[in-house]
Amino acid sequence: MRNLEEIIIRTIAEYGIKGERSQGETGVWIDTSIPHKARKICAMGVKTSRWITMHGFALNVNTDLSYFDLIIPCGIQNKQVTSMQKELGYELNVQEVEEKIKKHFKDIFQVNF
């Protein structure tokens, strides 16, 4: 999970967004040192089925954040959810973001695909 967090931290850094880990909470966050301003930009999870474990993440790129008003995201109260679009003020090319994620995935996990 920490490697997946690192991939996202490096990816959003290419856009000038400083992603961080929040102690005790999985995912990638912004402004963790300012509790009332902390916001999650990427959720992560694990699924186990029939002795197989799968890891995944949901990076909010151009996400409609209004849906999060109806739930308590990840069961974490008093913290907001954000997106790259909200942080930057413009819509991003999702394929470009995907390519950056792949580049960092290959680097972190030392694989080629």
CA 18 to chain centre: 11
Q: Active-site residue among 17, 43, 65, 74?
A: 74
Q: At a CB cut-off of 8 Å and minimum separation 6, what does 5 contact? A: 21, 26, 27, 28, 42, 44
Active site residue 74: yes
Concatenated DSSP letters of 24-89: TEEEEEE-TTSTTT-EEEEEEEEEEETTEEEEEEEE-SS--GGGGGGS-GGG-TT-EE--HHHHHT
Which are the catalytic amino acids? Answer: 74
